[in-house]
Each structure stands twice: as C-alpha cells, then as structure tokens.
Amino acid sequence: MKLQNVTKYVAGALVASLVLTGTAVTPALADAVAQEATTSDDQPSTTGDNQPDQPTTGDNQPDQPTTGDNQPSQPDQPSQPSENPGNNSSISTPTSPSDDTTKTPDDTKTEVKEDGTKVETKVEKTADGFEKSTVVETKTDGTVKETVKTTGKNKYGKETVSTVVTNKDAAGKVTGITEKTVINVTKNATATITISKNSAGKATTKATLVRNANSNAKFSVSAATLKQIKEAAGKNVVVVVTSKNVKTGKKAAIEVNTKNVVSGKKLYVSVYNKKTGKYVVDKTKVAVVNKNGTIRIPSLKTGKYKLVTKK
C-alpha cells in the first residue's frame, strides 16, 4: 500500500473515532484533518526508506562533483607559477640553475713539473677564426715564460702560424719578447719572420724565405710574398731568400732588401768571397723587378749573395 493511501486511511479513521467517542467534529477540525491528508499526498516523505532519488550528502550520493578523495578526474591544467608557494605546494616554479650549470667551464689545464714549475695551458678560438693556445710557465723563483701560439689563414688565404714568447722576471717586468711568424706563401716556399725585443724595447728583425727546387735555375719572388713578409715584419726588411736543390741538398742564399724592390728597377748580384770576407758585384748577373713588383732572380751556384742597387 502506498504511503499516500495510508495517510488518507489514518485521517478517515481519526474522524470516525471522534464521532464514535462523542467528540464533536467541527468544520475547523474536519478541514484540518483534510488539509493534513492533502499535504501528505502532495509532499513526499524525506525520512522513509522509500525516499525518492534526490541529492543527499550520504554515502549513496549520486556521482556529482565533490571535493573529497573520490573527486572525478579533470583534464590536466597547465601549472601556473606561484608567487609564494608553500612547502607543500604542488605547483612547480622556475628556479635558477645551480652554479655548476651556469658557470663557464674552466678550460685551463694546470700541471706541475718535477722541478716545481707550474704550467697552465689554455686553448681557444679567436673571433677571426684562428686557433689560439696560451702556455704560461711559472718557475719556483717567480720568473714567468708565456707562449702564445695562433694558427690560421691570413687575409691572403695563406696558412700562418704566429708564436709570441714573453719572458718576465719575478717582479713581473718584461725581460724579452720574441715573435715568430711562419707563412706558407706557396706550395714549395715558406717565409719566416722573427722579431726579437730586449728589456729596453730595442727590436731586431730577421726574415727568411726558403724555397725547394729541383735545380739551381733562375726563380722569382712575387710581390705578394714580399708584401706578406713586410706586413709581418712591420717594415721593410732584408729577406734571406734560400733556394734549396732537393736533389743535391745544395743551397744558394741571396739577401733581398724589400725597400729596393721597386717596379721596373734593376738590381745587381753581389757574390760573397770566402777568402776576403767581402762581397763583389758580378756584372753578368742582374735581377729585374717587373711592373707588378715581382723580382726575377738569375741562376745561382751554391754560395751567398746580395742584391745591390749599384754595380
């Protein structure tokens, strides 16, 4: 039997009971009983076992979004940095890298020799593409020798190696500097320019050009080669040009002063006399500078020579 029918039955029984007991049933009392029956019919009970499905807070609550442990999963949302995250905050915040990751690695290698000399070596690449190595040797007495070596191509596209050695005393004062530049000017020729400075700053410059040949025939020294030598020396310089016969091993060395190499000019070959220790002009041999500045040197036998401006 439905709850509504039970309610009506009880209301009717109540009225009948009042009548049987002699209780007067006034219109107001009858209306109250009828109203109670009507209200019971229209309003469902909220405490019975057959309670209709309504949202509740009990264990049998239908699936609704809640804040409990059984909350249904939601799509992941991007984490937002927290300005003041607590110790238990699950929001990750950007952190600065540790010192180990931001610090530039020390690329200087240090070792100590058996005699106590400390050697520091650093290798790097310069902005113009040269490979550069720096070696600093510090002895136990405080004196220092620094060697800086750069390797690469010069502006003419020639392979060049420059080595600068600086010596200092225990007080840090420079006692001497030697700068050596080696240029592969051609496939078979190498130029070497050495500049030495003493503690007073006085410089001495030497330049050589060694060419390998299959004979002692005449040869040329180009204007481009002489220009590179002059630039490395920083001025006009006397270049000792050595022509080496790769078959016999014999050499002919001739001194050429770059300031005398002028387009269209003739230079004369002076031969060194071992007996007298003097140079004597050989009027039969002439070196000619063409319009481009390249000098043509005649065939020479083994020995020492100079190019001079006068016969």
Residue 195, judged by CB atoms within 10 A of its CB (0-12, 13-18, 19+), counts as buried
* Cα 248 to Cα 48, 55, 215, 229, distances in angstroms: 126, 113, 9, 28
Residue 250, Ramachandran bin (φ over 0: left; ψ between -120 and 50: alpha; else beta): beta
DSSP SS3 for 76: coil
Tell me, what's the pLDDT at 129?
86
Tell me, what's the pLDDT at 217?
82
Tell me, what's the pLDDT at 214?
85
Low-confidence ranges of the chain (pLDDT < 50): 1-3, 6, 10, 19, 33, 37-73, 75, 77-105
Max intra-chain CA distance, the chain: 174
Tell me, what's the pLDDT at 9?
53
Q: How many CB atoms lie within 10 A of CB 147?
A: 16
Which helix (H) or strand (E) is 258 found in, with range?
none
How many Cα neighbours within 13 Å face the side chain of 153? 5
Q: What b/e sequence results for 263-290 when a residue is b if at least 16 CB atoms lie within 10 Å of its CB, and e otherwise?
A: eeeebbbbbbeeeeeebeeeeebebebe
Give the residue among 229, 293, 234, 302 at the shortest CA–CA distance from 267: 293
Structural domain boundaries of the chain?
1-36, 110-176, 188-311
Average pLDDT, the chain: 78
- Residue 259, phi then psi, degrees to nearest 5: -70, -20
Q: How many CB atoms lie within 10 A of CB 190?
A: 15
Rounded to the nearest 5 degrees, what angle is found at the Cα of 84, between the Cα atoms of 83 and 87? 140
DSSP SS3 for 180: strand
Per-residue pLDDT tens digits for 12-42: 555 555 545 555 555 555 555 455 544 444 4
Q: What b/e sequence results for 20-43 when a residue is b if at least 16 CB atoms lie within 10 Å of its CB, and e otherwise?
A: eeeeeeeeeeeeebeeebeebeee
Tell me, what's the pLDDT at 24?
54
Per-residue pLDDT tens digits for 291-302: 999 999 999 999
On whether the pTM is more than 0.75, the answer is: no
